[in-house]
Structure 1
Amino acid sequence: MDGPEPHSREERSGSRTSDRLDSWKEIAAYFKRDQRTVRRWEESEGLPVHRHQHKSRAAIFAYKSELDAWWDNGRQRLEGDAQTTAARGTRRLIWPAAAAGILLVVGGMFARHWLRDRSIRAHVQSIAVLPLANLSQDPGQDYLADGLTEALTTNLGKLSALRVISRTSTAQYKGTKKSIPEIARELHVDALVEGAVMRSGDRVRITAQLIEAPADRHVWAETYDRDVRDVLALQADVARAIAVQIRGNLSSIPAPHEAMPLNHEVYELYLKGRYARDEGSEDGLKLAFEYFRQALEKDPQYAPAYAGLADCYAHLPFYSETRPAEAFPKAKAAALKALQLDQTLAEAHASMAYVETYYDWNWPGAEAEFRRALELDPNYAEAPLGRVEEARAELKRAQELDPLSLLVQANSGVISYFGRQYDQAIQELRQINRLDPKFSVPYWGLGLCYEQMGVYEEAVTQLQKAIDLSGRGANGIASLGHAYGLAGRRGEALKILLELEERAKKSYVSSYQIALVYLGLHRNDEALKQLENAYQERSTLLTYLKMDPRVDPLRSDPRFEDLLRRIGLTHQSAPL
């Protein structure tokens, strides 16, 4: 276990003032650990930290000379503990190099490490990788720490019979002061990985620790120091070392399969693209496009960048007013190129599944692509759209992998709505309201449920709350217009219809949304005409046509049945 060795003795022999570290951040950087680790050391190992008596508890400082002495004494004590563990029967720390003469050589580098009783292998069925701390003192390097966190999560996901929590849930613990047991309880996991990343020029250092969560006990830790050009091998090596502790073999995590060395500038652009994409906004997607394109300019054969482009294009119609015909063909082309270069990219298969679902309406093809994505990445949290009971089973799995995602939880209520289980949907959506009253999706779902139950005024109230929180997007106001029509508030429904039609002259509005308002006004012929327009547009919303209760008044019309047939929704593998 590396300590503060890089600091020279000359540095430590200066004045008492220069010898002092004045924050947890400085102490953590001195030890090349994250703040949570050094705080834990103070509580459990007696790390010598001082507090200003006239200030708050948070105002702390420490002296390097005292830390050095503590570190040296601690190392001797820990080595002594390893030799006497069998006699005492207490928790043990093993130094493999000293106790057994074992050298762990990863990529030609000796990594000193310590670990606890290997019985953890029998107990770890679930794990979460907490956001790696960026110790570079440069916020511009956050993308690297986040990218390596995601890569480590993905690699651990390849271990059989191990549930790995999605980064969407773990990202919420970035900078948290919660304890390890508390985090583990919230995520329902047996073990946690935490650590830090430090970038200095062309060198990258990763410190990773495996912690048995219930007891908050460190099982293993290593520090890796590599050239940034070796970052792919580095992230795989960390995952494989953790796999040894959990499963006892290296073969569980495959080594990187790239045949040629990767240009580190290409990989950094790719990580920046993913970082921007994960913002979940239209601006973030636009920035991600730019980074992925720059990566491909430098290396036109880099498959993950094509997969990133495909993912951005596939999601663009959901984040912007982009027409489906302007996005999905590009998503398909990028995904096919990615798969031509590398058939093992789960993300590219998932993007193909989105295209097959929302644009090509090829339901067997969509299901096959989703299944292939799950085979390649068993912890992929995206769930295919299927029949209600199948969708509910897939969603349960997604909730296990992403337990803190409010959107995943909200989808449970939406599935109940599509299954006409309105009381259950309301119960599920109300629960999310209590978790986050400012999250708009549950209000929208509640509005749809109350509308189908004939409680129109309450439906209007809930839909208006959703609009107040999320803005006047087409989906929200179209749903409100439909509810106004059913509630007999014809004038207000017509105002929304006019608003949508005027907006459609300037930017894309799905004709499906306009059809909904006509349905609320009981003007079914106009609604059918708008649905035919939506068919010509390849509107993504037609995917839900077979299951949406709001179009029930049209189901007996032969024109509607013909539309379902042309979309492929009469196929046995189609949704519902």
Structure 2
Amino acid sequence: MSGGNQMPTLPSSSEKSLANSAADPVPATAVRDQLARMVNSPGFVSSVRLCRFLTHIVNRTIDGDIDSLKEFSIAMEVFDRTSEYDPNIDAIVRVEARRLRAKLKAYYEEGQGTVDPVLIGLRPGSYVPVFRWLNAQPAKHREEIAAAPPPGRICVAVLPFVNMSPEPEQDYFCDGISEEITNSLTRVSSLNVIARTSAFHFKGASIDIREVGQRLGANLVIEGSVRKAGEQLRITAQAIQTESGHHLWSETFRRELKDVFAIQEEIAQSVADLLRLHMPGVQGAVQSSAPNLDAYTAYLQARFLIHQQSPEALQAAMGQLRKLVEVYPDYALAYSDMAAANGLLALFGAVSGREVYPEVKANAERGYALAPESGETCTVLGGLRAWFEYRWDEANEIYDRALKLQPSHARAHRFRAMALLCQGNIEAAEAGLLRSAELDPLSASDCARMAYVHYVKADYDLAAKDLRQSFELDRDYPEARLYEGLLHFQQQNYEAVIQCLSPSVSPLDIGLLAAAHAKEGSLSRTEECIERLHQLAARQYVTPLAEGFAAIGMGDFDLAFKCLDEAINHKTIFINLLAVEPFFQPLHADRRSAKLLKKLNLSH
């Protein structure tokens, strides 16, 4: 194997303490003065959590207590976590540190920090701040905020491999190789692996590897190319350190097509071995699925469609997967993906959850039975138990198993978090979504769901910020649009609800639009929206929850309870949030609400 380059040794704790050494040290009084300026500045004063974080790490550093600036200690002392805090599940410290770095950068480049005498910076991977005098070359000092090699946990991103084949339609095959390598690496403990959604954000883009690393929070990027000609395959892969741009390992594989599974596993194993040389905590074997090549090719084509997530693409994927399992009845992931595709169709309101439930159940359970050691099959089974069957405790156990098998499985973190939210465990849900967002930082879905948690907590400013980020990643993301409408509704900004939801053809959006018109006192427009729902129902599936939304806005609680009860019978996914969704709050004093919650196996 080629690749004489070795990964640079990561800095030790003693080396990190040198971050504050300089020819002209900054006195503690000057640092405290600078801290006071910053926490009282317009950019910081509204962020209580970040001010508390910054104040804590600065004061501890001034006091010479940098050994206490570890993730676990900060979680308990700044973010009020208990001694049961697990950084593998709850990423709050790392996520907030990333937010703090962005805030510091904005302060010194765009805010009043442009004229301040002292720089307070925070390097990636470290919680020990650096203090510098700002001289005639301040930009150089500001760059130091992100200049040091990261200690501790390594984060890896596998970018989509470039299709160099004569046939452009082989994209699905190249994407599948990248996804398989990612999936294998998620099994390695003490390693963060960026999810496919975020890594594939850079597909087809010509972008500097340093920027990729910065946007993904990744220290190491795996990239490569694939050339497939007939039965011959050439795959080139390389590992690049994002900070320096140095190539740490590279390899070219010239094999027959049937060897693709061995190549995928070898690439993942090479990366894991490379990391183990410098990080003894990185443990766990990579594992690659090795099905029949024809089955694998057909599966990748269906998977390519599933990632598009439109109802049409999901239906097409379902058709392909059904044909696949007819020929290869033991292909576990095909069953799980059929269950997931149907689940997404129900989530988007394209089908009735009750209608697809039997097939979802059969496929999720079959996939798990065939491959119980797969984090993916566990995650899909957990989704069935939670969203369709309301077996919340069992779902939690299955999600925990998924994360034990694949600690960096972003979707397992996301599903687990949303299930916990339905059960009213808002803090645990937030922690889980923060972990998911760390692994999938460019996911419109994660941003939208983080916004939803902040909305449930009545932290409307943060919710609005997360929604803006979601729309920046996908301006048409339907989940974010619904959450934006709900946010405006809770703020009693009904005109904003009307503005953002009027163009939508989604039944739930139309129902919420009707509720906003009702609150504005426009009964005629409310009735127009309800009539739109009835017309839609003649052509497609419309969940009863849509009219339930309208009924709540009109104050017709008898109709609202009737619709919500029907929505539970239809297994509408959103109704699982009944216990925590603020829009349903007017119903909670009514004893009928407790009966609905009981049907969902949720407490009042």
Could you state the TM-score of these two structures normalised by the residue count of structure 2?
A: 0.71
Other-structure match for 1:456: 494
1:208 matches 2:246: no
Other-structure match for 2:462: 424
Other-structure match for 2:267: 238
Change (3 A) 1:300 1:317: same
SS of residue in 1 equivalent to 2:521 = coil
Q: Distance in 1 between matches of 2:289 and 2:562?
A: 52
Q: Distance in 2 between matches of 1:427 and 1:518?
A: 30
Change (3 A) 1:320 1:556: closer
Q: Distance in 1 between matches of 2:571 and 2:287?
A: 42
1:500 maps to amino acid: L
| 1:528 shift after superposition | 1.2
Q: Distance in 2 between matches of 1:121 and 1:305?
A: 41
| 1:423 shift after superposition | 3.6
1:524 matches 2:562: no
User: Is this contact kept in 2: 1:310–1:332, CA < 8 A?
Assistant: yes
Other-structure match for 1:560: 593
| 1:136 shift after superposition | 0.7
SS of residue in 1 equivalent to 2:221 = strand
Aligned mate of 1:411, from 441, 449, 465: 449
Q: Distance in 2 between matches of 1:115 and 1:310?
A: 45
User: Is this contact kept in 1: 2:311–2:350, CA < 8 A?
Assistant: no
Change (3 A) 1:568 1:295: same
Q: Distance in 1 between matches of 2:299 and 2:591?
A: 49
Which 10-residue stretch deviates more, 450-459 or 430-439?
430-439
Q: What is the aligned-residue identity percentage?
A: 29
User: Is this contact kept in 1: 2:238–2:251, CA < 8 A?
Assistant: yes
Structure possessing the higher radius of gyration over alpha carbons: 1
User: Is this contact kept in 1: 2:163–2:171, CA < 8 A?
Assistant: yes
Q: Distance in 2 between matches of 1:532 and 1:257?
A: 43
Q: Distance in 2 between matches of 1:440 and 1:321?
A: 12
| 1:499 shift after superposition | 1.8
Other-structure match for 1:312: 341
Aligned mate of 1:194, from 223, 248, 252: 223
| 1:439 shift after superposition | 5.2
User: Is this contact kept in 1: 2:302–2:317, CA < 8 A?
Assistant: yes
Q: Can you list the C-alpha shifts for 1:322-367, whole angstroms capped at 9, x where unaligned?
A: 1112222211211211222221122221111222222111111221
Once the two structures are superposed, the pairs formed by residues 360-509 of structure 1 within 5 Å of their partners are 360-382=389-411, 383=414, 384=416, 385=418, 386=420, 387-432=425-470, 441-464=479-502, 468=503, 471-509=504-542
Other-structure match for 1:82: none
User: Is this contact kept in 2: 1:128–1:170, CA < 8 A?
Assistant: yes
Q: Distance in 1 between matches of 2:174 and 2:470?
A: 30
Other-structure match for 1:97: none
**Gap runs ≥5 in structure 1:** 1-110, 572-576
Aligned mate of 2:543, from 485, 507, 510: 510
Q: Can you list the C-alpha shifts for 1:226-283, whole angstroms capped at 9, x where unaligned?
A: 222222222111110111111139974345475xxx4211111111111111111112
| 1:436 shift after superposition | 6.2
Other-structure match for 2:302: 273
1:547 matches 2:580: yes
Other-structure match for 2:188: 159
SS of residue in 2 equivalent to 1:178 = coil
User: Is this contact kept in 2: 1:478–1:496, CA < 8 A?
Assistant: yes
| 1:144 shift after superposition | 0.9
Q: Distance in 2 between matches of 1:251 and 1:432?
A: 34
RMSD: 2.2
Which 10-residue stretch deviates more, 164-173 or 361-370?
361-370
Could you state the TM-score of these two structures normalised by the residue count of structure 1?
A: 0.74
User: Is this contact kept in 2: 1:156–1:243, CA < 8 A?
Assistant: yes
Other-structure match for 2:320: 291
Q: Distance in 2 between matches of 1:355 and 1:543?
A: 13
Q: Distance in 2 between matches of 1:537 and 1:118?
A: 54
Q: Can you list the C-alpha shifts for 1:156-197, whole angstroms capped at 9, x where unaligned?
A: 122211111111011121122111111111111111111111
Q: Distance in 2 between matches of 1:380 and 1:459?
A: 35
SS of residue in 2 equivalent to 1:367 = helix
Other-structure match for 1:182: 211
SS of residue in 1 equivalent to 2:8 = helix
1:394 maps to amino acid: G
Other-structure match for 2:53: none
1:358 matches 2:387: yes
Other-structure match for 2:8: 119
2:558 maps to amino acid: D
User: Is this contact kept in 1: 2:353–2:572, CA < 8 A?
Assistant: yes
User: Is this contact kept in 1: 2:305–2:314, CA < 8 A?
Assistant: yes
SS of residue in 2 equivalent to 1:454 = coil
Change (3 A) 1:568 1:188: same
2:285 maps to amino acid: I
1:127 maps to amino acid: V
Q: Distance in 1 between matches of 2:10 and 2:365?
A: 39
Q: Distance in 1 between matches of 2:351 and 2:453?
A: 26
User: Is this contact kept in 2: 1:239–1:253, CA < 8 A?
Assistant: no
Once the two structures are superposed, the pairs formed by residues 224-263 of structure 1 within 5 Å of their partners are 224-248=253-277, 252-256=284-288, 262-263=291-292
| 1:131 shift after superposition | 0.8
| 1:510 shift after superposition | 1.1
User: Is this contact kept in 1: 2:190–2:283, CA < 8 A?
Assistant: no
| 1:443 shift after superposition | 4.8
Other-structure match for 2:15: none
Q: Distance in 2 between matches of 1:298 and 1:439?
A: 36
User: Is this contact kept in 1: 2:218–2:242, CA < 8 A?
Assistant: yes
1:156 maps to amino acid: L
Greater RCO, CA 8 A, separation 6+: 2
1:476 maps to amino acid: D
